[in-house]
Structure 1
Amino acid sequence: MALPILPLGVIAYENIPYTVIPDSPYGHRELLVNIYRKNDGKKYPALLMVHGGAWSSGDRSMQIPMAQQIAAHGYVTIPVEYRLSPEAPYPAALHDLKTAVRWARAHAEEYGIDTTRISISGCSAGGHLASLVGMTNGSARHEGTGQYREHSSDVQAVVDMDGVLTFVNQENIDETNENIRKLNGELPKNAIWLQGRYEDHKKIWEEASPLLWVTEKSAPICFINSLNPRYHTGRNEMIEKLNAYHIYSEIHQIEELLHPFWLFHPWFNDVVLYTINFLDKTLPEK
């Protein structure tokens, strides 16, 4: 596994609250971010980083090794905590991340963030959420009612590592229903997060599908995928939609079936390089 190693010249601000959930199942609690950046006082573009775990598990520490390395290349990297399905179903996680983007803009002077160059990346479920954040730039129905509403939640670039792009393709619907049958009526993780079966909650499944929300305001996106075909579903269709708006996209293929490739060497270094090159291209210094 790739381990956390703070590069020379990079400083860390950890366990920083970005919002408060007053009435969570765990009581009054804060959602936290970590921040990594060069120790030079300059302003840099920001990258919010979203962990995976089937919308039900994981934490922001999974993003720390990558965040530390990317920060050394001139980015303010921000691993983000968000609410998981045991605490709150969709759309809580999306609203948390939109709030985190607005928080980054509200605290730009404090942490040296260029507010015109804010991006988001994610892995697996985090990749899905990052794509949803980026495709729904400007969408009021996805915004939520979180803090810092005087600031924009728009992002200027997305990196999606094996994150699904649609829930409403027939293959996914059929697979979910088959899993419900195998579980004797219990819901699998995706259906728990989406508040039930597609047949009962079509609007939620559609609203949570990034593929359905591509507009002229959507962000450029980099896909980094394993060979597992389930994580390619909707990718070509999304690229076609983005092309219609002349929005840039690129694909990088990891030649392994291993889904969480970003956590392990040697693929970790490739992912860092792909991410930095894409962000350098789409968020150029002005």
Structure 2
Amino acid sequence: MHQYLLLISLWGFVYFPTIANGQIIPRDSSFTVKGTYEKERKKFPDIQVAEVATDNVKIYENIAYKKLQQRKLYVDIFEPKADKNNIAIILIHGGGWRSGDKTHMHQLSLALAEKGFTCFTVEYRLSLEAPYPAAVEDIQDAIIWIKNNSFQYQIDANKVFCLGTSSGGQLAALVGTLNKSITNNKLLNTKIAGVIDIDGLLSFTHPDAQEGTMAAQWLDGDRITAANNWKVASPLYNITAQSAPILFITSSYKRFSAGKNDVTDQYRKWNIPCDELNFENSPHTFWYFHPWFTPTVNKIDSFISELVQSRN
């Protein structure tokens, strides 16, 4: 008989962990697309959950990219059957660094794969399992794994992009502004070609940021006890001439793009490509829904295509 650990959060949510190779992995399953739809349609009654029907994409689920001591981390791969452009996009789900999963990025992956991109939705360790910088290390390890397997998936190792939504956008922006291994190992090639930050904050300490318990849990302490983590995990404070080009796609909620204008100013200083698409009067989670889904996909496509073309 299996023994299950019951976790109860400060907000009263109940979580059932999964068990992998005998290891208990706590899971917060409170953030779902269905639940988000039920919440947002009260304010936006005409929205529809985006669902992509296609026969033009091959899907490979749960491919291991990283082995930890007692378990593995996986990616789902969405590969165009034809008209492949040899460009890879890593998609990083949101959920406050503690909830959500890689399936939340499947519809975006299908839509982008239809446009020729090979998409990898990535599993990474969330805050209930491991605090910062574990998630960053996982994403950088996914980049390395994809580059090491670029021949198998027919992608150009120099054309790997990171896309993230909400907290996943913060992670994508952090990986892209760093654009080097967080382990300081010069042999590890974690450099990416560009970032798509979809409503992910750029600074935990910016006046527009309203981060509290969830950020503190991931950053292993509040903004006083873990002040250094709150700073170094902010993309704003990691920009150099080597930072990756970035596209911001934002809602009308300032807190989710805190620090964006400061990042834009620094990018202009370094002459690094930077672009933006803003949806006024939209929910934070607009990327899940019509009428914002298709314009989001089209902007991602044009940003990456123009950037790659300008560098050829």
Q: Tell me if TM exceeds 0.5.
A: yes
Could you tell me which of 46, 63, 71 is aligned with 1:16? Answer: 63
Question: Residue 132 of structure 2 aligns with which residue?
Answer: 90
Question: Residue 24 of structure 2 aligns with which residue?
Answer: none
The equivalences for 1:64-143 within 5 A come to 64-138=106-180, 140=181, 142-143=182-183
Q: 1:31 to 1:192 in 2, by over 3 A?
A: same
The equivalences for 1:1-286 within 5 A come to 1-5=49-53, 7-22=54-69, 28-40=70-82, 44-138=86-180, 140=181, 142-143=182-183, 150-170=187-207, 172=209, 175-176=210-211, 188-284=213-309, 286=312
Q: 1:152 to 1:170 in 2, by over 3 A?
A: same
The offset of 1:166, in angstroms, is 0.4
Unaligned segments of structure 1, at least 5 residues: 23-27, 180-187
Question: Residues of 2 paired with 1:20 and 1:229: CA distance?
Answer: 38
The answer to whether the Cα contact below 8 Å between 1:95 and 1:144 also exists between their aligned partners in 2 is no
Q: 1:108 to 1:165 in 2, by over 3 A?
A: same
- Select the structure with the greater relative contact order (CA < 8 A; seq sep ≥ 6): 1
Q: TM-score, length-normalised on structure 2?
A: 0.80
The offset of 1:8, in angstroms, is 2.9
The offset of 1:143, in angstroms, is 3.5
Q: 1:170 to 1:43 in 2, by over 3 A?
A: closer
Structure 1 SS opposite 2:157: strand
Question: Residues of 1 paired with 2:60 and 2:81: CA distance?
Answer: 11
Question: Residues of 2 paired with 1:34 and 1:171: CA distance?
Answer: 34
Structure 2 SS opposite 1:66: helix
The offset of 1:205, in angstroms, is 0.9
Whichever structure has more helix as a proportion of its residues is: 1
Q: TM-score, length-normalised on structure 1?
A: 0.87
Unaligned segments of structure 2, at least 5 residues: 1-48
**Higher deviation after alignment, 232-241 or 87-96:** 232-241
Question: Residues of 1 paired with 2:119 and 2:101: CA distance?
Answer: 16
The answer to whether the Cα contact below 8 Å between 2:84 and 2:116 also exists between their aligned partners in 1 is no
The offset of 1:218, in angstroms, is 0.4
Question: Residue 183 of structure 1 aligns with which residue?
Answer: none
Q: Amino acid of the residue matched to residue 172 of structure 2? A: A
Question: Could you list the per-position Cα deviations for residues 58-79 of structure 1 after superposition, in whole angstroms to 9, with x for gaps in the alignment?
Answer: 0000000110110111111111
Q: Amino acid of the residue matched to residue 111 of structure 2? A: Q
Structure 1 SS opposite 2:121: strand
The answer to whether the Cα contact below 8 Å between 1:4 and 1:64 also exists between their aligned partners in 2 is no
Q: Amino acid of the residue matched to residue 248 of structure 1? A: P
Q: Amino acid of the residue matched to residue 96 of structure 1? A: D
The answer to whether the Cα contact below 8 Å between 2:59 and 2:77 also exists between their aligned partners in 1 is yes
The answer to whether the Cα contact below 8 Å between 1:11 and 1:37 also exists between their aligned partners in 2 is yes
The offset of 1:150, in angstroms, is 4.7
Q: Amino acid of the residue matched to residue 158 of structure 2? A: T
Question: Residues of 1 paired with 2:139 and 2:261: CA distance?
Answer: 25
Q: Amino acid of the residue matched to residue 73 of structure 1? A: K
What's the C-alpha RMSD, in Å, of the aligned pairs? 1.8
Question: Could you list the per-position Cα deviations for residues 110-133 of structure 1 after superposition, in whole angstroms to 9, with x for gaps in the alignment?
Answer: 111111111010000000000001
